[in-house]
Amino acid sequence: MNKADDLLKANIINILTNGSVDENPRPKYKDGTPAHSLYISQVYEKYDLTRGDFPITSLRPIPIVNGIKEIRWIYQDQTSSLEQLRLKYGIVWWDEWDIGDGTIGLRYGGTIKKYDLMNKLLYNLLHDPYSRRHIISMWQEEDFQETKGLPPCAFQTMFTVRNVGGKMYLDMTLTQRSSDYLVAGHINKMQYVAFQMMVAKHCGYEVGNFAHFVQNLHIYDRHIEQAEILLERTPSTQSPILKLNVPDKTDFYSISEKDFELINYEPVKPQLKFELGV
């Protein structure tokens, strides 16, 4: 069992055993029923990517390729257009959050573009690598006032550069206010590991540590059965590794999901189905 499988099972047990029940939840299922959840708070995980320690569970298949496509939509295309997400990448899971104009509002990619956050990050990592201010924050109150839309869940990344024996290593921390654990938890982890690898390649750095902090980690009431199935599953004995097969110092904007290779990934099947709380 790899570290990600251990942590997934431990967190599920913690949520089912000690989780708090939310009251008057905002999300609803498609039939209009309030989507209640059990949740725990302040959950932190850390992975050493240099040692092949990747945050991907083998207890169910994770759509990593689509997760990387979503990263491209946000940080390369820098748009909130759902049409572009569908036509360019074939991803439709954001359609439920259409605010009525074919977008998710001034959120995610729209915020990245408005404040030129991606280009500023890349410039500063190259020209002032030891700064303690390498931060992308999509939590912008001005944007929330300008348009409707779901505030970003995975809203902040922080970067640190370390020189170890003459090699430059890039560490990254992803911060989430909320995580629908069984549906998106490991998609978010692995898509942001891919993001970290893309940024590191642009700068000519090695990937270092990946850390993930979630303030509210929850399991919806209609996902309890799936949680119990995951606890019963026997994980793969393989240790999955994500590789980025491009030359050093490749331009961030030229890297695509086709440049990644997932090795030793043998997830347990069948895939589980989840009803979304929107």
- What does the pLDDT average to over 175-189? 96
* Structure confidence at residue 188 as a pLDDT band (50, 70, 90): very high
Active site residues: 153
Count of domains in the chain? 1
Q: What does DSSP say about strands 134-137 and 154-164: parallel, antiparallel, or unpaired?
A: antiparallel
What is residue 1's predicted lDDT score, i.e. its pLDDT? 62
* Inside any domain, residue 233: yes
What is residue 277's predicted lDDT score, i.e. its pLDDT? 87
* Inside any domain, residue 157: yes
* Inside any domain, residue 190: yes
* Inside any domain, residue 180: yes
Burial string for 80-104 (b: 16+ CB within 10 Å, else e) reads: bbbebbeeebebeebeebebeeebb
What is residue 213's predicted lDDT score, i.e. its pLDDT? 98
What is residue 81's predicted lDDT score, i.e. its pLDDT? 98
* Inside any domain, residue 156: yes
Residue 228, CA distances (Å) to 75, 178, 269 in order: 35, 21, 15
What single-letter amino acid sits at 218? H
The range of the structural domain enclosing residue 195 comes to 3-61+125-139+149-263
Rounded to two decimals, what is the model's pTM? 0.96
* Inside any domain, residue 218: yes
- What does the pLDDT average to over 162-179? 97
* Inside any domain, residue 80: no
* Inside any domain, residue 164: yes
* Structure confidence at residue 149 as a pLDDT band (50, 70, 90): very high
- What does the pLDDT average to over 145-169? 97
Summarize pLDDT for 252-276 with one digit per residue, the tens. Answer: 999 999 999 999 999 999 999 998 8
- What does the pLDDT average to over 101-109? 98
CATH number assigned to the domain comprising residue 211: 3.30.572.10
* pLDDT at 171 > cutoff 80: yes
What is residue 132's predicted lDDT score, i.e. its pLDDT? 98
Summarize pLDDT for 20-38 with one digit per residue, the tens. Answer: 999 989 999 999 999 999 9
* Structure confidence at residue 178 as a pLDDT band (50, 70, 90): very high
Summarize pLDDT for 194-244 with one digit per residue, the tens. Answer: 999 999 999 999 999 999 999 999 999 999 999 999 999 999 999 899 999
Residue with token string 């991803």: 91
- What does the pLDDT average to over 124-142? 98
